[in-house]
Structure 1
Amino acid sequence: MSEQLVQNAPPGARAAVVKRAVVAGVVGHFVEWYDYGVYAYVATTLAVVFFKSSDPNAALLAVFATFAVAFFARPVGGLFFGSLGDRLGRQRCLATVVVMMSVSTFAIGVLPGYATAGVFAPVLLLLARLMQGFSAGGEIAGATSFINEYAPVGRRGVLSSLLPAASATGLLFGATLMTILTANLSESQLTAWGWRVPFLIALPLGLIGLYLRLKIEDTPLFRALVAAEQHDPTPLRSSVTRQFRPIAVAFGATLSYGVGFYVVMSYMPTYLQEVTTFGSTSVFVVTTAVLLAHIVSLPLSGALSDRIGRKPVITVASVGLVVCTYPAFLLVSQGSSLVYAILGGAVLGALIAATAAPLFAFMAEMFPTRVRNSSVSVGYNASVMLFGGTAPFIATFLIGWTGSHIAPSFYLVAAAAATALTLYRTKTGEKISKELPQT
């Protein structure tokens, strides 16, 4: 079925095809980011299980260093799968990465701890995390291309906003599961075996994601390229040599969301446990409020970007983060009022959503179909590798170095300012690619 057939199909049939494509992309993305994010939710337990240290902060830093190192595998995976997706198809790569992520996450759940394997325990953990990072590098670009190449022009913002919504929902599922385990298991049980449960669940979730991704055809745009024999045999080289400026814009535009996601959504439970006196129930309530505010705001911000443009929404939200992050962290870190903590966290979650919702359509619209996967992979993954994946480590380090519980806010403020400046100084991305669906 060519692109022209999709466009000329009856509206009901066309909508059904788009719906199946979005479901395949979003559900698979949920699985990927549940798998990837659950690591942060069990960080304090992993510090005990996998690292021998008399200093709890040092052990926690080691856990987050392992978390961050995996992000250095993301660009490698992005380069590999991005190029493969432009040469062989988005659907094949998306099916492959969801299997890789699920298997590597499941592997963490069966690894021996330090007490059993000694120094080999953290080494094996690192290898599994590197495999997760390699897989994640191929997920975002493939899912971004897949959904935006199916979505009509007036709906790309709202439909692609479902990708970060799936990420946050995956984190919420992980947080809920860990809260249930924490409430029903003793600390010794949690350390002995309870922490493994979220990782073991990854395997059946991965099978669901794989099934859905195998049930949908590749995008009409990619199939049209293949049929016309116009696909690029060296898409990665073409991206780097011909798309450098828009890749740089994608890099800068990602900073607000990349740092915000990992400082606020992923790191928040550990942050609350370390700097406040909240119990596990209160930590879950605050984390849930942040994630729900984020999830609800995403389609609203995506729909707004469909009406007024991607750049204005991302820019205004980034400026909002510059202004609001410090006072929001003040409210969260006090630990004396659950209401204040929820308010501060929800504000951050909503603002980060507004930087995320238009981002994936914004990136897809900057690049031609023949190099879209590769170009998005390079710009997005490089940004997240350098500044997003290192965020929990840097936040923990800043708290220990400065003695201030507010220190992580400085990092997010700097990232948001960089995104606002990037978009202010460029006109790249204002023109929508004529190759994407227009009806």
Structure 2
Amino acid sequence: MGTEVSGSPLAAAFASVMGWAFDLFDLFILLYVAGPVGHQIFPVKSETLSLALVFISFAVSILMRPGGAAIFGSFADRMGRKRIMVIVFAGVGVSTAVMGLVPSYAAVGMVAPVLFLALRVIQGIFVGGVTAVTHTLGTESVPARYRGLMSGLIGGGGAGIGAALASIAFITISAIYPGPAFIETGWRYMFATGLLGALLSLFVLRKVEESPLWLAAKNAKVSDKQASKPLSFKDLLSGRYGRITVLNIAVAAGAGAQYYLTSGFLPTYLDVVTPVPRDDRGWILLGASLIVVLAATSAGHLSERLGRRRTMLMIGTINLVALPVILLVIARTDPGATVTILILCCLLATLSNAAYAPVMIFLNERYPTEIRSRGTAVSWNTGFMLGGLLPTFVTLLSPTTADIPGRLMIFIAGAVLVFIIAAARSPETRGAIEQHATVTFPSAATIEEGTNAKPL
């Protein structure tokens, strides 16, 4: 069976990686400014309650992601990955930037938190749409032997790059607005940097080609008058694909929780649990973010050699012990021991992000091209929605900041167990995209000229 790749695979890979990076960059910003946002938008007497309210606003975006995945995933399966990618990149960037314009609670009262939450809803819908395109276009545009690597590079590497960009923005803006100035004004400029992601939509519009797999499937459907009834969104929730989707969500939830309870929670952990000075904290988070790019890409490529299932089980088993222990050690480390904390945070980020590096391509390989955007995006976003809610429960169930580490360890151990069990019940998927295919894929140019694909 032969399959041709996109005429611009590097452009598609770059857009997918950076699109997911800026998508998570826009989400990370809130984690870096949780304290100032709590002070300005959700002012209450209890520090942990204020933080919990901020994380609830973070959870609002997470909750909206499956809806956005269903909406934009359906469009991406019908209209193509590229066109929807342009729309969602612009939507996430603009909605994030507008958050920095929300007036403070002191100025407008309840209008401030209501407006902020409304913007989080809008952002969450667009974020769900981003996964529908970045998590399919990149892997569909490269040769089969690079799909595992691309999965790690987009899923984990993109997250690492996004976190690194957020760290750089935090370091830069903190230097421009030091101390109280950051709490009063600087945090607003953090949100304004979201516009950088919106600019990526212009690159996609001009340089990226449509997925060759999607074009081939579309062309085959048009040329085959006896084609079967198209798969619909309902097929994801019932019958054979319904069972697959439920198990996929469990895998994504376990993986997502490992991320959100470690890398996602780290900016707050180093602020309220182990209060590292702001300047040092920015550099520690930057280092931990950069190591993720290498770790996730390596883990994704490892799944191309060992298989998706075996790789997830191996990393999950290690994380069941390692992640709770590392979190406890960080909590007991002197905040001034910068080098020690940096090493621990890099190790924590490496292991937690390696866990979900193969998940993206695993989800891709569970669905045929016709519903791949919807299947992958709904599974990923629903799973990561569930995982993304856990930091909120950790803070709500912690009477004081001193109670956070113990609660966090319990939640992370439970999440890893879910991941291991779901992965163990899943089949090996490596090579399944070729098995799903029913046509030989011509080049994008050939399809657009109307040349029919030859059946296999």
Within 2, Cα distance between the matches of 1:424 and 1:222?
30
RMSD (Å), alpha carbons: 2.3
Aligned counterpart, 2:120: 129
Deviation at 1:232, TM superposition (A): 6.7
Match of 1:119 among 88, 110, 117: 110
Aligned counterpart, 1:211: 203
Within 2, Cα distance between the matches of 1:155 and 1:421?
27
Aligned counterpart, 2:373: 373
Aligned counterpart, 2:40: 49
- CA, structure 1 residues 425+233, in 2 after alignment: closer, same or farther (shift >3 Å)? closer
User: What is the TM-score when the length of structure 2 is the normalising length?
Assistant: 0.88
Within 2, Cα distance between the matches of 1:406 and 1:32?
31
Task: Report Cα offsets for 1:38-71 as digits up to 9, x if no partner.
Answer: 1111111100110131222211111111111221
Within 1, Cα distance between the matches of 2:49 and 2:21?
31
Aligned counterpart, 1:194: 186
Deviation at 1:28, TM superposition (A): 1.8
Q: How does 1:210-249 map to 2 (within 5 A)?
A: 210-229=202-221, 235-241=232-238, 242-249=240-247
Deviation at 1:131, TM superposition (A): 0.8
User: What is the TM-score when the length of structure 1 is the normalising length?
Assistant: 0.91
Within 2, Cα distance between the matches of 1:428 and 1:15?
26
1:24–1:213 contact (8 Å) kept in structure 2: no
Aligned counterpart, 2:415: 415
1:289–1:342 contact (8 Å) kept in structure 2: yes
1:158–1:299 contact (8 Å) kept in structure 2: yes
Counterpart of 1:240 in structure 2: which amino acid?
L
Q: Is residue 2:76 matched to residue 1:85?
A: yes
Task: Report Cα offsets for 1:309-329 as digits up to 9, x if no partner.
Answer: 111111111111111112101
Q: Is residue 2:355 matched to residue 1:355?
A: yes
Within 1, Cα distance between the matches of 2:11 and 2:413?
38
Deviation at 1:189, TM superposition (A): 1.7
Within 1, Cα distance between the matches of 2:279 and 2:184?
21
- CA, structure 1 residues 390+375, in 2 after alignment: closer, same or farther (shift >3 Å)? same
Unaligned 5+ residue runs, structure 1? Answer: 8-13
Counterpart of 1:211 in structure 2: which amino acid?
F
1:366–1:431 contact (8 Å) kept in structure 2: no
- CA, structure 1 residues 232+278, in 2 after alignment: closer, same or farther (shift >3 Å)? farther
Within 2, Cα distance between the matches of 1:377 and 1:163?
14
Within 2, Cα distance between the matches of 1:431 and 1:233?
23
Task: Report Cα offsets for 1:92-120 as digits up to 9, x if no partner.
Answer: 11111111101110110111111111101
Within 2, Cα distance between the matches of 1:250 and 1:213?
31
Within 2, Cα distance between the matches of 1:404 and 1:15?
48
Aligned counterpart, 1:307: 305
- CA, structure 1 residues 410+232, in 2 after alignment: closer, same or farther (shift >3 Å)? farther
Within 1, Cα distance between the matches of 2:93 and 2:187?
16
Q: Is residue 2:392 matched to residue 1:393?
A: yes
Aligned counterpart, 1:11: none
Within 2, Cα distance between the matches of 1:296 and 1:352?
13
Deviation at 1:430, TM superposition (A): 5.4
- CA, structure 1 residues 213+399, in 2 after alignment: closer, same or farther (shift >3 Å)? farther
Does the residue aligned with 1:265 lie in a helix, a strand or coil?
coil
Counterpart of 2:182 in structure 1: which amino acid?
L
Match of 1:264 among 241, 244, 262: 262
Counterpart of 2:398 in structure 1: which amino acid?
I
Does the residue aligned with 2:82 lie in a helix, a strand or coil?
helix
Does the residue aligned with 1:399 lie in a helix, a strand or coil?
coil
2:309–2:428 contact (8 Å) kept in structure 1: no
Q: Which stretch shifts more, 230-239 or 303-312? A: 230-239
Q: How does 1:20-169 map to 2 (within 5 A)?
A: 20-164=11-155, 165-169=157-161
1:72–1:385 contact (8 Å) kept in structure 2: yes
Does the residue aligned with 1:208 lie in a helix, a strand or coil?
helix
Q: Which stretch shifts more, 421-430 or 224-233? A: 224-233
Aligned counterpart, 2:293: 295
Within 1, Cα distance between the matches of 2:187 and 2:246?
39
Counterpart of 1:359 in structure 2: which amino acid?
V
Aligned counterpart, 1:433: 433
- CA, structure 1 residues 231+351, in 2 after alignment: closer, same or farther (shift >3 Å)? farther
Q: Which stretch shifts more, 403-412 or 416-425? A: 403-412
Within 1, Cα distance between the matches of 2:58 and 2:383?
16
1:25–1:147 contact (8 Å) kept in structure 2: yes
Within 2, Cα distance between the matches of 1:404 and 1:145?
37
Within 2, Cα distance between the matches of 1:214 and 1:93?
14
Does the residue aligned with 1:306 lie in a helix, a strand or coil?
helix
Within 1, Cα distance between the matches of 2:91 and 2:228?
26
Aligned counterpart, 1:275: 273
Does the residue aligned with 1:403 lie in a helix, a strand or coil?
helix
Does the residue aligned with 2:213 lie in a helix, a strand or coil?
helix
Deviation at 1:202, TM superposition (A): 1.6
Does the residue aligned with 2:405 lie in a helix, a strand or coil?
coil
Aligned length: 429
Task: Report Cα offsets for 1:284-312 as digits up to 9, x if no partner.
Answer: 23322322222221111111111111111
1:81–1:93 contact (8 Å) kept in structure 2: yes
2:163–2:286 contact (8 Å) kept in structure 1: no
2:85–2:130 contact (8 Å) kept in structure 1: yes
Within 2, Cα distance between the matches of 1:231 and 1:30?
38
1:290–1:349 contact (8 Å) kept in structure 2: yes
- CA, structure 1 residues 186+349, in 2 after alignment: closer, same or farther (shift >3 Å)? closer
